Chains A and B, each alone.
Chain A
Amino acid sequence: MPGAPLLLPLLLIPLGAAVVLGLIGDRKYAAEINIFGSAATFAAGLGLALQVYEQGSFMAGGKFFFVDAFNIYLAVLTAFVSMTTAIFSRRYMRLEREHGRVGSIRMRFYHAMFQLFIFAMLLCLLTNNVGILWIAMELATLSTVLLVSLYRTPTAIEAAWKYFILCGVGIAQALFGTVLLYFAAEKVLGEGGDALLWTNLSRVSGQLEPTVLSLAFVFLMVGYGTKVGLVPLHNWLPDAHSEGPTPISAVLSGLLLNVALYALVRCKALVDGATQTHHAGNIMMGFGLLSILVAAYSLLRQKDIKRMFSYSSIEHMGIATFAFGLGGPIATFGALLHMLMHSLAKSSIFFTVGHASQMHGTQEMARIRGLFKGNPLVGWGFMLGVMAIVGLPPFGVFTSEFLILTATIKDAPATAPFLLLGLAVAFAALLRRVQPMVCGEVPSWQQPLRAAHVPVILHLVLVLVVGLYLPTFLSDWFQTAVGMLK
């Protein structure tokens, strides 16, 4: 078993940064330390990815961690988006402070919790233990609850309370599912921590009791599905995304939903191995399709800009869940790519949306006007981000949606019209809203602002590059992951 010198740094840097930022508090350079910590995490992630690329998947830390093609790309993505979000949040939060929306104590809290959240997500992805995965997922929720209520407005507190209660209850169901999974596993693998390791479970998945695993999957689906934001378990999501600070919306939407879906997909692979039926896949397809349709129609009647894009996140997570449920090499490949593309495109949209609402002092779409003229970078970044997210070529979301659609027409033609309908409604709803916001004259209430442009440009370039040409290492990883999830 090869050592993994970069695995511990990848986890310990964000944890250490959380402690440091909690101790030093709201100093002038706190935002820079936040960026530096995230950048170091990203560097460790890249190093680890290189090792996986050269050696293939491996276990580390006495079977405690497990790195393979599926989780490493999500870990690198998590580290990358957390870095760009930290860059964005430096200017964004400075302005929020100047506007008097947050004070010194809350800034200390904000920075520390941001890093703790990154740590929790990375632990979720890299742990080999299903139980630890659950604990880390709960930690990710808990570390963001008080960030959602950071502004202490009545609506922010309501949103955070909803998030706390609904995700708490949801994730409790996942723990019950985990108990059932352990119950089935210990008969085969014996008692103790080893019976909860992914690596052991997937090795013996054929011998696990199918009735128990079917029941366990229902609980796991409801539990982790709540965190993915699948309809009808999505109620917390638009509130939490629209009321919290925008950097938090960006990481919740771009990263947390992905991590929850990762957990669900791993569980599905196990259940499939045990039951040898398409039972789990069908459940996921149902939830996915319902999410796509409900979210697409909800997009039509939104007035708040961040709320609208959170419904778009529900729609895209629905697409990925549907594709994983469909299974098969093309759909799974498409779903993996879709998670990556959605995460990059959506967080860049949230960056520009954050700046746009700061310029206008509101999140109400009717009052956001003339972005092209007011601030070309925010305007164009926003427009291109939206074009990417609705699935226009040549952006990467088009590629992934096209793959998923092709597989749907081949394997489940009856569902294809619904999928297309959802995509078309979302397309129309988003472009109809965005066009008046970017075009036209600058309104009198618009304030000029220095936007953080690096994160937006980085994200959009990546989405564009992957749309035009998928790098070989990425397609190799996706192929390997597809093989594992079969």
Chain B
Amino acid sequence: MNLELAARINSFLAALVLLTAFAMLAQRRMNGLIHLFAWQGLLLSINTAIVGYVAARHHLYISSVLTLGLKVVLLPYILQVLIRRLKIHKEIEVVVNIPMTMMIGIGLVVFSYHLTAPIMQLSTMVTRSTLAVALATVLLGLLMMITRRHAVTQIIGFLALENGLFFAATSATYGMPLVVELGVALDVLIAAFIFGIFFFHIHATFESLDIEQMARLKEGD
């Protein structure tokens, strides 16, 4: 595979990652969100493997397999089991003003390109143009966490944000050192167990996973 082709595939995958990030912003069904998250993970995994092959960085194959196992199989599975157990898998979230959110999202993408422009000039890597998309994915995950009011959606937003970070690491630097990537994966796994426990606690205490209800801790006047 020559570099030209690899750069094109990389850009194409980056575009698809961005598309899934926007699709998540607009998706109201729990099941649909989890599927989108799994697709995003799959795109990342393929991208990592291709970068690893082109740049002959073999530790990226390990990252790629790790991503596949963790973000395409394990995390979506855990989330599916959780929402089934909590009987919210058919729930449709009330999301206000999706068009407005999309417009803000587009603004964030432009902002990401602006912010990373000086860095892209410094880089010589085939993947350099995707750093902006990676930052945009991070910011879109953040936007999702801000605009949504459901505990499960917030967690998916958080995981999407983490996907963006992983994408940034592969596109800016051909991946972080392996020990760091393994550690990050471990942290994500622990976090998954913790939010699993949390969902049950919140559900048991508030009888719903709508975090609008959690507004007791306010500054007294």
- Asked if A and B are interacting partners, one says yes
Distance from A93 Cβ to chain B, minimum over Cβ atoms (Å) = 20
Q: How does the 8 Å CB contact mask read for B162-180 relative to A, with 1 for contact and 0 for none?
A: 1001001100111011111
Q: Is A94 positioned at the interface, with any CB of B under 8 Å from its CB?
A: no
B161 contacts the other chain (Cβ, under 8 Å)? yes
A162 CA to B214 CA, complexed, in Å: 10
Our pick among B123, B178, B206 for the contact of A154 (Cβ within 8 Å) is B206
Task: Let me know if A168 and B158 touch, CB within 8 A.
Answer: yes
Q: Which of B138, B158, B172 contacts A165 (CB 8 A)?
A: B158
Interface 0/1 of B182-221, CB less than 8 Å to A = 0110110011001101100110011000010011110111
Find out whether the CB atom of A169 lies under 8 angstroms from the CB atom of B142.
yes
Chain B neighbourhood of A162, CB < 8 A? 214, 217
A178 CA / B190 CA spacing, docked (Å): 21
Compute how far the CA of A191 lies from the CA of B219 in the bound complex, rounded to whole angstroms. Answer: 49
* Complex alpha-carbon distance, A129 and B162, angstroms: 20
With A and B bound together, what is the CA distance between A157 and B151 in angstroms? 12
Measured between alpha carbons, how far is A182 from B179 in the docked complex, in Å?
A: 14
Q: Are A135 and B145 in contact (CB under 8 A)?
A: no
Q: Does B118 contact A (CB under 8 A)?
A: yes
Cβ of A467 under 8 Å from chain B: no
A152 touches B158 (CB 8 A): no
Hey, what's the 0/1 contact readout for A130-167 against B, CB within 8 Å counting as 1?
01101100110010011001001111011111101100
Give which listed residue, A134, A152, A161, A212, contacts B151 with CB less than 8 A: A161
A165 lies within 8 A of B154 (CB) = yes
Cα separation A142 to B187 with both chains bound (whole Å): 8
Contact A211:B191 (CB < 8 A) given known A152-B205, A154-B205, A165-B158: no
Are A243 and B217 interface neighbours, CB within 8 A? Answer: yes
**B158:A175 contact, CB within 8 angstroms:** no
Contact flag A182-B206 (CB < 8 Å), given A164-B194, A169-B158, A176-B138: no
Residue A5, interface by CB 8 Å: no
Cβ contacts under 8 Å, A145 to chain B: 194, 198
Q: Are B180 and A132 in contact (CB under 8 A)?
A: yes
- B118 contacts A211, CB within 8 Å? yes
Bound: A186/B161 CA distance, A: 24
**What residues on B are CB-neighbors of A192 within 8 Å?**
177
CA distance A160 to B214 in the complex (A): 11
Interface check B81, CB cutoff 8 A:
no
Asked if A149 and B119 make an inter-chain contact with CB atoms under 8 angstroms apart, the answer reads no
> What's the nearest-Cβ distance from chain A to residue B17, in Å?
16
Query: Does B198 contact A239, Cβ atoms closer than 8 Å?
Result: no
Is there an interface contact between A157 and B172, defined as CB atoms closer than 8 Å?
A: no
In Å, the complex CA distance between A65 and B215 comes to 43
Q: Which chain A positions have C-beta within 8 A of B216? A: 154-155, 158
Question: Interface on chain A toward B: helix, strand, loop, or mixed SS?
Answer: helix
A183-222 at interface with B (beta carbon < 8 Å): 183, 186, 191-193, 195-196, 209, 211-212, 215
The 8 Å CB contact of B217, one of A129, A159, A196, A303, is A159
Query: Once A and B bind, how many residue pairs between them come within 8 Å at the CB atom?
Result: 131
Cβ A193 vs Cβ B198 within 8 A: no
B7 an interface residue at 8 Å Cβ cutoff?
A: no
Determine the chain A residues whose CB is within 8 A of the CB of B194 once the complex forms.
142, 145-146, 164
| Nearest CB of chain B from residue A171's CB, rounded to whole Å | 9
B183 and A132 within 8 A (CB): yes
> Cβ of A442 < 8 Å from any Cβ of B?
no
Interface: A449 (CB within 8 A): no
Residues on A with C-beta less than 8 A from B220 are 301-303
Q: Residues of B within 8 Å of A, CB-based: how many? A: 48
Query: Are B173 and A169 touching (Cβ within 8 A)?
Result: no
Residues of A within 8 A of B206 (CB): 154, 157
Residue of B nearest to A138 (CB): B187
CB-CB under 8 A from B123, the residues of chain A are: 183
Task: Name the contact of A179 in the complex, choosing from B115, B173, B178, B187 (C-beta under 8 A).
Answer: B173
Query: Is A172 at the interface (CB under 8 A from chain B)?
Result: yes
Partner of A135, one of B57, B158, B173, B184: B184
Interchain nearest-CB distance for B215 vs A (Å): 8
User: Are A168 and B191 in touch, CB under 8 angstroms?
Assistant: yes
User: What is the chain A residue whose CB lies nearest that of B191?
Assistant: A142
Cβ of B122 within 8 Å of any chain A Cβ, yes or no, is yes
Query: Is A180 interfacial (CB-CB < 8 Å)?
Result: yes
Kindly state whether residue A479 has any CB partner on chain B within 8 Å.
no
User: Is there an interface contact between A129 and B179, defined as CB atoms closer than 8 Å?
Assistant: yes
Q: Which residues of A contact B79 (CB under 8 A)?
A: none
CA distance A311 to B160 in the complex (A): 32
CB distance from A267 to the nearest CB of B (A): 16
Q: Does A298 contact B (CB under 8 A)?
A: yes
**Contact B161 A155, beta carbon cutoff 8 Å:** no
Q: For the complex, what is the distance from the CA of A161 to the CA of B209, rounded to whole Å? A: 12
In chain B, what residue has the closest Cβ to A143?
A: B190
Establish whether residues B162 and A172, one from each chain, have CB atoms under 8 Å apart when the complex forms. Answer: yes
Q: Which residue of B lies closest to A130 (CB)?
A: B180
In this complex, which of B154, B173, B198, B201 has the most chain A Cβ atoms within 10 angstroms of its Cβ?
B173
- Shortest A176–chain B CB gap in Å is 6
Q: What chain B residues lie within 8 Å of A193 (beta carbons)? A: 177-180
Q: Are B138 and A212 in contact (CB under 8 A)?
A: no
Q: Is the CB of B135 within 8 A of A176?
A: yes
Q: When the two chains form their complex, are residues B165 and A176 in contact, meaning their CB atoms are under 8 A apart?
A: yes
15 more A-B residue pairs beyond the given contacts A179-B173, A183-B123, A191-B173, with a C-beta to C-beta distance below 8 A? A134-B180, A135-B184, A139-B190, A142-B194, A157-B202, A158-B214, A164-B195, A164-B198, A165-B158, A169-B145, A180-B172, A186-B173, A211-B119, A211-B122, A239-B217
11 A-B interface contacts by CB (under 8 A)? A135-B186, A139-B187, A158-B214, A161-B211, A168-B158, A172-B162, A175-B165, A180-B119, A182-B172, A183-B123, A211-B118
Which B positions have Cβ atoms within 8 angstroms of A?
57, 115, 118-119, 122-123, 135, 138, 142, 145, 151, 154, 158, 161-162, 165, 168-169, 172-174, 176-180, 183-184, 186-187, 190-191, 194-195, 197-198, 201-202, 205-206, 211, 214-217, 219-221
